[in-house]
Amino acid sequence: MSRPVSSRKPRASSQLRIAAILDAARSLLAEQGVGGLSVYSVAERAQMPPSSVYHFFASVPAILEALTGEVHAAFRACLQQPIDPASLRDWRDLARVVEQRMLAIYAADPAACQLILAQHGLTEVTQADRLHDIELGELMQALFNQHFQLPSLPDDVDVFALAMELGDRVYARSVQQHGLITPRMAEEGMRVFDAYLGLYLPPLMAKRST
């Protein structure tokens, strides 16, 4: 996976320039999609010379991978937000909370839709997204296990990561057809998410004591 050139933690001034580059790329991505991005367009939007962009990011895919990491950081944060156990009657209530939080991130961040859901054909970004999905799936499984006594799950299938990816396929169809995730397709994506998890989770699972 491509990363900024230096593996050491950037100095404060460098962090500010990296943030400016990513903010510029995010705004261009939301406005024009991946096809509107180049190192030169990002540099122009960030009001810095192209050489400054190249200093931190060797290519457009490297910039997009960094943005993908930011989007998934938002997804991780939404999984770590507190959930009132009293609001959960069964695991589907928890699934609905998780999916609605992720849909809220997509709704607030058009660049996230372009990165994760649009067809851009960038292998590096797609691979980075899948690696992040595995991590999110592990966090999601831990969240479900926090509230419910999960049954034994297969070791050779990332059940929660795959459920999330299948839901994203529905959201991606909506973005391709309508430019956004419509309420109707949001509901369909959540149904797909629930349906796949339902292959492994029984309708009723014992809740953990609080």
For the stretch 76-115, pLDDT in tens is 999 999 999 999 999 999 999 999 999 999 999 988 888 8
The token pair that represents 150 in the structure block: 């999960």
Residue 203: inside a domain, yes or no?
no
CA 94, 95, 98, 99 torsion-angle sign: negative
Q: What is the CATH number of the domain that holds 31?
A: 1.10.10.60
Residue 131: inside a domain, yes or no?
yes
Residue 207: inside a domain, yes or no?
no
Please give the Cα distance from 25 to 147 (Å, whole number).
39
Please give the Cα distance from 10 to 18 (Å, whole number).
9
The token pair that represents 179 in the structure block: 């430019």
pLDDT confidence of residue 5: 46
- Of the candidate ranges 12-16, 26-30, 54-58, 70-74, the one whose mean pLDDT is the lowest: 12-16
**What's the mean pLDDT in 112-120?**
83
Domain with 52, as residue range(s), is 12-60
Please give the Cα distance from 132 to 75 (Å, whole number).
10
pLDDT confidence of residue 12: 66
**158 with 145, same domain?**
yes
Checking if the pLDDT of 168 tops 90, the result is yes
Residue 179: inside a domain, yes or no?
yes
* pTM reported for the whole predicted model: 0.84
**27 with 104, same domain?**
no
Residue 150: inside a domain, yes or no?
yes
**What's the mean pLDDT in 151-170?**
94
**144 with 40, same domain?**
no
pLDDT confidence of residue 210: 64
**What's the mean pLDDT in 192-197?**
97
**43 with 95, same domain?**
no
**74 with 146, same domain?**
yes
Residue 107: inside a domain, yes or no?
yes
**43 with 91, same domain?**
no
Place of tokens 């290519």: 59
Between 62 and 118, where is the model more confident?
62
Checking if the pLDDT of 163 tops 90, the result is yes
By the 8 A CB rule, do 137 and 164 touch?
A: yes
**135 with 96, same domain?**
yes
The token pair that represents 47 in the structure block: 């009001």
**78 with 159, same domain?**
yes
Quote the number of domains for the chain.
2
Checking if the pLDDT of 185 tops 50, the result is yes
What's the mean per-residue pLDDT of the chain?
89
**143 with 46, same domain?**
no
